[in-house]
Amino acid sequence: MRIRTLTALAAAVVLTVAAAGCNRGSDSDSASGKGGGPPIVVGSTLSLTGAFAATGQIHKLAGEEYVDRLNAAGGLLGRKVEWKVLDDQSDQAKVAQLYERLITQDKVDLLIGPYATPNILSAMAVAQRHGYVLPQHTAVLAPQLTYDCQFPAWSIGPTPNKFIPDQLFDALDSLPTPPKKIAVVTSQSGSAAFVTDGFGDDKTGVLTIAKDRGLDVVANVHYPPTTTDWAPIATQVRDADPDLIISNGLGVDAVNLVQAMKQLNYTPKKMFALFPAPGPLLALGAPADGILSVSMFEPNKPILDKLGAKATEITTDFTKRAKEAKLPYTTFETQAAASWNAWDILAAGVTESGGTDQRKMCASLHDKGADTTFSGHLKFDPKDHNFWPTTQTLKQIQDGDWVTVWPKNKAAAPLK
Amino acid sequence: MNVVQATLSGALIGGLYALMAIGLSVTWGVLRVINLAHFGLILIGAYLTFQLATSWGIDPLLTLVVTVPAMFVAGAVLQWIFDRLALTEFNSLLVSFGLLIITIQVASNVWSADFQRMDATVNPYATESVSIGRLVFPVTTLLAFVLAGLVVLGVHLVLRRTFAGRALRAIAQDRAVAGAFGVDHRRLSLLLGGAVGATAALAGAVFSLSNALTPETAYEWFGIVFAVVILGGIGEVVGTFAAGVLVGVLSGVVSVVWSPATAPFVLFSAIILALLLRPRGLFAMGAVR
Amino acid sequence: MTAGVRGAVVLLVVLFGLLALGVFGPDLDFPSFYLVLLGTVFFWIAQTSSWNLLSGYAGYFSFGQAAYVGVGAYCTAVLTGRHGVSFYWTVPLAAVLCGLLALGIGAVAFRLGSLRGEIFALLTLAVPFILSAFARINGDIDGGQGTIVPPPEAPGDMDFQQFQYLLALIVAALAVGVSYLVQHSRAGSALTAIHDDEDVAEVLGVPTFRYKILAIVAGGMLGGVAGSVYALQIGFVTVESVFGLTIPLFVIVMAVLGGRGHWLGPVLGAVLIVVLQDRLSSYGLDSWNAIFLGAILAILVAAAPAGLYARLKARPWVALIAFVVVCGVLAIVNLWGEELDWILAGLLAAAAAAIVLGTRRKPVPVPQQAAPEPAVSTVEDEPDDVPPVGDVVVECRNVAKHFGGVRALEDVSLDIRTGELIGLIGPNGSGKTTLVNLLSGTFRPTQGEIRVGGRDITRLAPHQIAHVGVARTYQIPKPFASMTVRDNVATAIMFGREPMSLRAARPLAEEHLATVSLDHLADSYPASLNLHQRQLLETARAIASGPKVLLLDEALAGLNPAELDNAVRVVRRIHRSGITIVIVEHLLRVLNQVCTRIVVLDRGTKLADGEPRTVMSDPDVVRAYLGRQAHV
């Protein structure tokens, strides 16, 4: 009796799956190119579930918005663009497998990268094998990205481990009382640790640069990404009494650290967070005021005005879509801008080379670069692994929002 | 001073660990079910607290009035499913894993995969603390510690002093014989499942007070919770509490004295040692089994 | 052809087919995506099959598969990525490292801690956490940053997918091959015995520690090699990607779903789940993927708790027909999906069909005779001669056994000579079973020494004591539930003093079954036997190892008079064949009839020892049994 109920349930599940698959099948059949030829299919994976899903969603929305706008403006080379995005579940093995499928089975015309450095590296290997151009949004450790036809949408230059500390310290030097004692708190993760410890044989990082500049590192703590108890770290930082806390971490690490310090009744004088999830820090309220971070783009009015009406439209539309998707943080900022750049690069490759031939696209991108809405004209030099001269800025939480504050010529408000 | 504060903070957050672990430990010890879906219940409890507090604008702790009964029912239903299926211990692990996967996906569909965190205006507790001299007791973990203590005390008393408690211990030892003595294991296990669900609601609520939530957070709890269950002894209620505190303190002290990176290394090595020396749990006092 | 050989043939055929696919596929325009998908399937087959060696066969569930994958992957990643070592060298090195790791875990868990069941599982859970913390702390490994794995040169003019595919295939074939060989060897029987009842196996002569270590090390090495190849597949190794909990959880899911006791089970599970996940992800139902997966998982495990393989084996034709029909119909109609979808649908349909129809069990051949077996009565007239009493075979000197404060045995000295049939009696709690446990090695004496055949056995492991010549039965029979009656006895012979294969042991087993008149039930499973038959099985198993001394622990409890007479006849028959017997009993009338000597224990000390008649009328003995007020 029980077995029969279970099997009935199972049958129901199977049928539902079948029905859904049916749906899916008919969907891909109905993709018709209205004039101009068959649609151009762009394939990629994104982490829509799993550890990286929190940010993966942003890239999905940004990509969808881009494709819609592109098609509304006539598509690419007069053809409609379709984006086939699959969920890689934040699993590297699946990334490799799915990209192989997109290329060999679904025979997509173009590729765009997934989210998160490990996944991007796995995808890059596949793209390289098949000779596809791969614009990717967020892998910034230039030495790792060895494929010629990989094009970064977010660049911190060829040596990000040098650029970031330099930029930060330069900015802080412009203050009336620059910090002298610093505490460095680092997540042992590939996407963050390089800023502190350098990468491979290149040991340049916050620690060495601070020493070179005569700053005193009063605390140096490394923590595993799985940390749940922040009190010990906060206690160490508090007791070191630094002028500046550098939190080289991801996601909500900075939030947890600030919270733990607040619980100890300690307010940091100045704090920098490397790649925080932007929303949760804002939700922390007053204790998060003044925190600095790196940015590629913030939709601050002065900046938008400089970029033009199109940029403003894009950011507003994104916010609308994000609200519909029930995202808690709906601002179009660095991550979305990186996504936008990647699509701009892809589109530029197609239009400049006049087609979807991967080799021609790669060559043309190297020769002519790409025009992007939010980062201007990008030049790709294979010597630097295509990492264009960075336009990175620093942002700061002021009055409950992220504002670009450095360098001065790009700032929307002064650094506090 | 650092070490003292780390010990204190560790002990308090150990209360949260214990609160999460008790449910898993008791169902494992008494009902012989390894219920991974318990993590799903904690997750939903946390999300519900977040949602109700944010939507209704009430104090997060007040949401317990809704979440505890809701999770009680959920826990009882879950237990009912396990009873009907009459699975072996390890098979219950797999079925509950399937249920956990479903729960996490549902959470993702409803609340998106992005970080959800109660605003400071809704949740004043995140950064508050009680100070005694230089020593600080963060409110959120203090709450967890107190709740855990109450829950443990309550469960311990129930198991020792009430008929239902004795009946549960009898079931844990030999279900068939207990049945022969008139103990209806089905009703009791539903009750237990519900109680465990209620503790999940508490744990989830406390967790959401000081953390941002994503659906994947449920997986992040595995390591710590299983560590506590191992050290405390499967099914040992008071032992679980003590183990939670121990895990928190050990991690905290190692983090301060050595480095946070070394803490998991020391902790899990200690667990292996503990398993060798006292396999039934460091604090096994022959409570349930 | 036996099922085993058939299986091997099919395996080899499939292997060659897959090899050919890999080598010639691209030339024949075979979509390379399938090579990649198969590569993933092979990875999981390798992991699940290696996991199955210890956890499936022997029942020691391990949650630590990630440890081997991680060590293997990191070995390759760090050596090739950071030190430029050729990939091909890293694979055997990974095997060695993982083997050592497994050896360490096994030594600690099995020897030091004698950990079983869930405690063992929890210990293995802790290992990946330790290793991942270690990798993060250690800057030489990667300090948490992750390591790129440069792809090696593919030999010949193979492209990378082919190369990957063939590597993964070789590793998977290795794992399945080892799985198959273990199952069909003595190791397989040993592991099954350990799974069913480890203590009994040990006492029967199975060196349980040795086989468990063998299983864990083999599983570890295979897992490590598969991890090595996995590093190539993902191209960039981080702590999270190889030491995470996802891999071990899914390994367990696949292996248990497929059926953990047979080499084919994990293969089935891996194929089903990988194809299922692939299909789910391709439908673009992102927000429903996991829900379907979780639901199917929960349903399948609940419906087929012993695994799909068992169900498919019970109804092979049903399953095959369901598969072919569903697959074929979908292919012909061609309205929906692609080949993989049809295959998946076919697989699910086959599983469902086997499960639903398989619940109607074929009526097990119930032994026609009820309790009093007429077969037994045919050997009524047996000669009544008693074998002569010879030299001392068992010597106990001042043996004591304390359990904490409880003194179960105190200063017991006893000599047992060959040819004797000693009755060991005493009130409850007098220490009879404890003495049997000491003699068979289940416990070590707290004080004193015990010699069997001149050898001091106090330091020996139970399986060594079995080889010296002591066998015992249990008060509540403990047969190996997953083996047939014949195989139960054959196991004892296989691991007796003369090691031999299962095939050689089976005919000998039948002889022993004949001694206890159980040969007509040789193909049944213990679950279908009644209490008396189970006791006879116990006895047959005990004498199968050719012991010098047989200890019968309350072998006559719970029998009706006819069964009792039969049992006594069996005991006499065994005694006549030259085995010395010590029988722990309460039934004085039986002991009077049968024993040459009676030893009485009371509260841990020897109260009386001598001829049955003398001992029975000893007033101390009477008082011990009936209380101080009794008169006889």
Q: HEC profile for chain A?
A: CHHHHHHHHHHHHHHHHHHHHHHHHHHHHCCCCCCCCCCEEEEEEECCCCCCHHHHHHHHHHHHHHHHHHHHCCCECCECEEEEEEECCCCHHHHHHHHHHHHHHCCCCEECCCCCHHHHHHHHHHHHHHCCCEEECCCCCHHHCCCCCEEECCCCCCCHHHHHHHHHHHHHHCCCCCCCEEEEEEECCCCCHHHHHCECCECCCHHHHHHHCCCEEEEEEEECCCCCCCHHHHHHHHHHCCCEEEEEEEECHHHHHHHHHHHCCCCCCCEEEEEECHHHHHHCCHHHCCCEEEECCCCCHHHHHHHCHHHHHHHHHHHHHHHHCCCCCCCCCHHHHHHHHHHHHHHHHHHHHCCCCHHHHHHHHHHHCEEECCCEEECCCHHHCCCCCCCCEEEEEECCEEEEEECHHHCCCCCC
Q: CA dist C117 to B275, B280, C59, Å? A: 12, 12, 8
B204 — alpha (psi -120 to 50), left (phi > 0) or beta? alpha
**By the CB < 8 Å criterion, does A24 face chain C?**
yes
B5 and A231 in contact by Cβ < 8 A?
Answer: yes
Query: In whole angstroms, what is the distance from residue C489 CA to residue C498 CA?
Result: 14
pLDDT tens string C522-556:
888 999 998 888 988 999 999 998 899 999 988 77
C469 — alpha (psi -120 to 50), left (phi > 0) or beta? left
Q: Which domain holds residue A50?
A: 36-154+330-384
- pLDDT, greater one: C142 or A374: A374
A56, A251, A284 member nearest B120 (Cβ)? A284
Which of C328-342, C435-449, C616-630 has the highest average model confidence (pLDDT)?
C435-449
Nearest CA in chain B to C297: B98
Give the DSSP H/E element, type plus range, for residue B189. Answer: helix B185-210
**By the CB < 8 Å criterion, does A316 face chain C?**
no
Q: Residue A281 falls within a domain, yes or no?
A: yes
Query: In whole angstroms, what is the distance from residue A225 CA to residue B255 CA?
Result: 14
Residues A400 and A380 in one domain: no
Q: CA dist B196 to B5, B9, C118, C485, Å? A: 31, 26, 21, 44
First to last CA, chain A: 71
Residues A190 and A266 in one domain: yes
Q: Where are the domains of chain C?
A: 18-244, 254-359, 386-626
The token pair at C168 is 């993964």
- Mean residue pLDDT of chain A comes to 89
How near does any CA of chain B get to the CA of C316, in Å? Answer: 24
Residues 6 or more apart whose CB falls under 8 angstroms from that of A315 comprise A299, A304, A331, A332
pLDDT recorded at residue A19: 54
Mutate which of A82, A105, A150 to disrupt the C interface (most C C-beta within 10 Å)?
A105
AA identity, residue C428: N
Answer whether residue C620 shows pLDDT above 50: yes
pLDDT tens string C14-51:
888 888 888 887 777 777 788 889 999 999 999 999 99
pLDDT tens string A43-79:
999 998 888 888 999 999 999 999 999 999 999 999 9
Query: Chain A, 215-254: which have a CB under 8 Å from a chain B CB?
Result: 221-224, 226-229, 231-233, 235-236, 239, 251-252
Residues 6 or more apart whose CB falls under 8 angstroms from that of C167 comprise C229, C232
Against chain A, the chains showing at least 3 CB pairs within 8 Å are: B, C
Residues A129 and A42 in one domain: yes
Total beta-carbon pairs less than 8 A apart between chain A and chain B = 144
SS3 C414: strand
- Quick one: how many helices (H) and strands (E) in chain C? 26, 12
The token pair at B213 is 């939530």
B223 contacts on A by Cβ (under 8 Å): 226
B10 and A232 in contact by Cβ < 8 A?
Answer: yes
B112, B115, B224 member nearest A252 (Cβ)? B115
For residues A279 and A252, the answer to whether their CB atoms sit within 8 Å is no
Answer whether residue C183 shows pLDDT above 70: yes
Query: In whole angstroms, what is the distance from residue C474 CA to residue C553 CA?
Result: 5
pLDDT tens string A135-186:
998 999 998 899 999 999 999 989 999 999 999 999 999 999 999 999 999 9
Residues present in chain C in total: 632
Answer whether residue A212 shows pLDDT above 80: yes
Q: What value does the mean pLDDT take over residues C254-279?
A: 90
A4 contacts on B by Cβ (under 8 Å): none
Query: In whole angstroms, what is the distance from residue C469 CA to residue A84 CA?
Result: 71
**By the CB < 8 Å criterion, does A53 face chain C?**
no
pLDDT band of C384, cuts 50, 70, 90: low
Q: CA dist C574 to B88, B124, C129, C476, Å? A: 40, 82, 55, 20
Residues A139 and A49 in one domain: yes
Residues A63 and A135 in one domain: yes
Residues A400 and A285 in one domain: yes
pLDDT band of C331, cuts 50, 70, 90: confident
pLDDT recorded at residue A156: 93
**By the CB < 8 Å criterion, does A62 face chain B?**
no
pLDDT recorded at residue C283: 77
Query: In whole angstroms, what is the distance from residue B141 CA to residue B14 CA?
Result: 8
Against chain C, the chains showing at least 3 CB pairs within 8 Å are: A, B
pLDDT recorded at residue C378: 38
Q: Residue A336 falls within a domain, yes or no?
A: yes
**By the CB < 8 Å criterion, does B93 face chain C?**
yes
pLDDT recorded at residue A36: 67
Query: In whole angstroms, what is the distance from residue A276 CA to residue A251 CA?
Result: 5
For residues B3 and B250, the answer to whether their CB atoms sit within 8 Å is no
B271 contacts on C by Cβ (under 8 Å): 122-123, 126
**By the CB < 8 Å criterion, does B276 face chain C?**
yes
Cis peptide before A407 (omega within 30 of 0): yes
C115 and B99 in contact by Cβ < 8 A?
Answer: no
A225 contacts on C by Cβ (under 8 Å): 144, 240
The token pair at B59 is 């104090």
Against chain B, the chains showing at least 3 CB pairs within 8 Å are: A, C
pLDDT recorded at residue B289: 37
pLDDT recorded at residue B31: 86
C256 and B90 in contact by Cβ < 8 A?
Answer: yes
How near does any CA of chain C get to the CA of A3, in Å? Answer: 6
Residues A291 and A404 in one domain: yes
Nearest CA in chain A to B10: A229
Total beta-carbon pairs less than 8 A apart between chain B and chain C = 119
A4 contacts on C by Cβ (under 8 Å): 356
DSSP letter string, C519-581 = GGGTTS-GGGS-HHHHHHHHHHHHHHT--SEEEEESTTTT--HHHHHHHHHHHHHHHHTT-EE
pLDDT recorded at residue B180: 81
Q: Which residues pair with C447 in a beta bridge?
A: C400
The token pair at C148 is 């790129």
Degrees, nearest 5: CA angle B266-B267-B272: 95
How near does any CA of chain A get to the CA of C368, in Å? Answer: 30
Answer whether residue C130 shows pLDDT above 90: yes
Total beta-carbon pairs less than 8 A apart between chain A and chain C = 153
DSSP letter string, C227-238 = HHHHHHHHSEE-
Q: Residue A52 falls within a domain, yes or no?
A: yes
pLDDT tens string C89-106:
999 999 999 999 999 999
Specify the range with the lowest mean pLDDT, choosing from A105-119, B30-44, C316-330: C316-330
A51 and B216 in contact by Cβ < 8 A?
Answer: yes
pLDDT recorded at residue A24: 45
pLDDT tens string C564-582:
888 888 888 888 888 899 9
Answer whether residue C71 shows pLDDT above 70: yes
**By the CB < 8 Å criterion, does B94 face chain C?**
yes
Query: In whole angstroms, what is the distance from residue A326 CA to residue A337 CA?
Result: 20
List residues of C whose CB lies inside 8 A of any B CB: 61, 108, 112-113, 115, 118-119, 122-123, 125-127, 129-130, 132-134, 136-137, 245, 249, 252-253, 256-257, 287-291, 293-299, 301-302, 305
Nearest CA in chain C to A117: C236
- Under-70 pLDDT residues of chain B: 1, 284-289
Query: In whole angstroms, what is the distance from residue C230 CA to residue C207 CA?
Result: 35
pLDDT recorded at residue C305: 84
B139 contacts on A by Cβ (under 8 Å): 263
pLDDT band of C151, cuts 50, 70, 90: confident
**By the CB < 8 Å criterion, does B108 face chain C?**
yes
Give the DSSP H/E element, type plus range, for residue B137. Answer: strand B135-138
B259 and A222 in contact by Cβ < 8 A?
Answer: yes
Q: Residue A189 falls within a domain, yes or no?
A: yes
Residues 6 or more apart whose CB falls under 8 angstroms from that of C5 comprise none
Q: What are phi and psi of B129, to 5 degrees?
A: -155, 160
The token pair at C212 is 């468990």
Query: In whole angstroms, what is the distance from residue A315 CA to residue A305 CA?
Result: 12
Looking only at the bridges linking them, the beta strands covering C236-237 and A150-152 are unpaired
**By the CB < 8 Å criterion, does B115 face chain C?**
no
A280 contacts on B by Cβ (under 8 Å): 115, 117, 212
Please name which of B244, B77, B224, B40 lies closest in space to residue B151, comparing C-alpha atoms: B244
B127 and A51 in contact by Cβ < 8 A?
Answer: no
Please name which of A131, A109, A134, A108 lies closest in space to residue A119, comparing C-alpha atoms: A134
Answer whether residue C632 shows pLDDT above 70: no
For residues C585 and C425, the answer to whether their CB atoms sit within 8 Å is yes
Residues A168 and A280 in one domain: yes
Q: Which residues pair with A52 in a beta bridge?
A: none
pLDDT band of C373, cuts 50, 70, 90: very low
Residues A149 and A247 in one domain: no
pLDDT band of C630, cuts 50, 70, 90: low
A87, A98, A124 member nearest C286 (Cβ)? A87
- Mean residue pLDDT of chain C comes to 86
A7, A22, A88 member nearest C356 (Cβ)? A7
Per CATH, the architecture of C386-626 is what?
3-Layer(aba) Sandwich (3.40)
SS3 C156: coil
| Domain total of chain B | 1
pLDDT band of C149, cuts 50, 70, 90: confident
Q: Residue B106 falls within a domain, yes or no?
A: yes
For residues A264 and B141, the answer to whether their CB atoms sit within 8 Å is no
pLDDT band of A8, cuts 50, 70, 90: low
The token pair at C133 is 């913390």
Mutate which of A86, A92, A250 to disrupt the C interface (most C C-beta within 10 Å)?
A92
Residues 6 or more apart whose CB falls under 8 angstroms from that of C626 comprise C632
Query: In whole angstroms, what is the distance from residue A248 CA to residue C32 CA?
Result: 41
Residue B246: CA count within 13 A, CB half-sphere: 22
Query: In whole angstroms, what is the distance from residue C274 CA to residue A241 CA?
Result: 53
C130 contacts on B by Cβ (under 8 Å): 264-265, 268-269, 272
**Rg of the Cα atoms in chain B:** 19
Please name which of C554, C550, C553, C589 lies closest in space to residue C573, comparing C-alpha atoms: C550
Where residue A253 sits, what CATH number does that domain have? 3.40.50.2300
DSSP letter string, C68-130 = HHHHHHHHHIIIIIIH---HHHHHHHHHHHHHHHHHHHHIIIIIIS---HHHHHHHHHHHHHH
**By the CB < 8 Å criterion, does A139 face chain C?**
no
Query: In whole angstroms, what is the distance from residue A218 CA to residue A207 CA?
Result: 11
Q: Which domain holds residue B91?
A: 2-113+159-277
Q: Residue A238 falls within a domain, yes or no?
A: yes
Residues A403 and A376 in one domain: no
Residues A65 and A150 in one domain: yes
Q: Which residues pair with A370 in a beta bridge?
A: A378
B276 and C112 in contact by Cβ < 8 A?
Answer: yes
| Domain total of chain A | 2
Q: What value does the mean pLDDT take over residues A325-345?
A: 93
AA identity, residue C329: V
C32 contacts on A by Cβ (under 8 Å): 100, 104
Q: Which residues pair with A79 in a beta bridge?
A: A76
Q: CA dist A132 to A75, A135, A378, C259, C347, Å? A: 21, 10, 20, 42, 35
Which of A258-272, C282-296, C335-349 has the highest average model confidence (pLDDT)?
A258-272
Q: CA dist A296 to A370, A395, B112, B280, Å? A: 17, 9, 25, 55
Q: What is the pTM of this model?
A: 0.90
Residues A193 and A334 in one domain: no
Q: Which residue has the tokens 């500390």?
A: A165
